[in-house]
Amino acid sequence: MSQNEGTSLETTISRIVSRIETKNAAREQALAESRQVIRHAANSIRAIHRNELEQAQKLLEQGRERLGTIKQVLANYQDLYWAGYVQDAQKEYTEARLTYALVKNEPLPSPEDLGVEDAPYLNGLGEAASELRRYILDILRHGQESSARSEELLDRMDEVYSYLVTIDYPDALTGGLRRTTDLVRGVLEKTRGDLTLTLRHQVLEAALERAAQRNVEGQ
């Protein structure tokens, strides 16, 4: 091997290493940002259940900004963008954002509105519908709102499920949506049963109270 050939190979390897280092730095930054998105989404959902909606909105905005940063960082590295962890962050953010919209009775934003891909959106939508179970149970447990509100939220869960169940494509395209849809169905059926039982108890209690009142008035 000649001197020139050795120098040429050294230069080639140096350039390759430089490109890999740059790509790895982008990967590390995207991973860190993805973890923060997931953390903000989880904290936002907790704030929603505590009825701290202003705090939830702030966390959602922070998550949205970090998703934008990820797209910028990985703009030249589509293999890293589609590696999975970005889609996980998008799914968690979508779940939190759609849970907020469902609880606030707002129109549901689209994937384009949220800046996420289709598969993470669909799975996030399913998980948001499932998250309503906890909100409904809190209403029933604490009497925070009328039973009509619980029925309204249950109808939204049912609506989401009725759409998701029509999407029948390979998991490679939908990110495992069939499993998410099955989970929504289970949560929906269980929540419907709990709500029905609670409403029956409320009717029975009201009837007993009326009977007791009549007895008092008749004495």
- The token pair at 49 is 């259940």
**Taking residues 137-160, what's their average pLDDT?**
83
pTM of the predicted structure, to 2 decimals: 0.87
| Structural domains of the chain in order of their starting residue, each with its CATH number | 1-116 (1.20.58.2140), 117-219 (1.20.58.2140)
Residue environment code for 29-44, b if the CB has 16+ CB neighbours within 10 A, otherwise e: ebbebbebbbbbbebb
Phi, psi of 117 (to 5 degrees): -85, 165
Mean pLDDT of 206-218: 63
Query: How many CA atoms lie within 13 Å of 83's alpha carbon, on the beta-carbon side?
Result: 15
Percent of the chain with pLDDT over 90: 76
Confidence of residue 204 (pLDDT cuts 50, 70, 90): low
pLDDT of residue 26: 97
Helix and strand numbers (H, E) in the chain are 9, 0
As a whole number of angstroms, the distance between CA 128 and CA 110 comes to 14
For residue 51, give the 3-state DSSP assignment: coil
- pLDDT at 200 (0 to 100): 63
Distance CA 102, CA 56 (A): 13
Give the model's pLDDT for residue 1: 46
| CA–CA dist 164, 143 (Å, integer) | 31
Which position has the higher pLDDT, 203 or 149? 149
pLDDT band at 117 (very low <50, low <70, confident <90, very high): very high
Residues 6+ apart with CB under 8 A from 63: 36, 37, 40, 41, 44, 93, 96, 97
**pLDDT (mean) for 148-170:** 94
Mean pLDDT of the chain: 90
Phi and psi torsions of 165, nearest 5°: -70, -15
Backbone angles phi, psi at 45, to 5 degrees: -65, -40
Task: Identify whether the C-beta of residue 116 lies closer than 8 Å to the C-beta of residue 60.
Answer: no
Q: What is the pLDDT of residue 196?
A: 79
d(CA 45, CA 96): 6
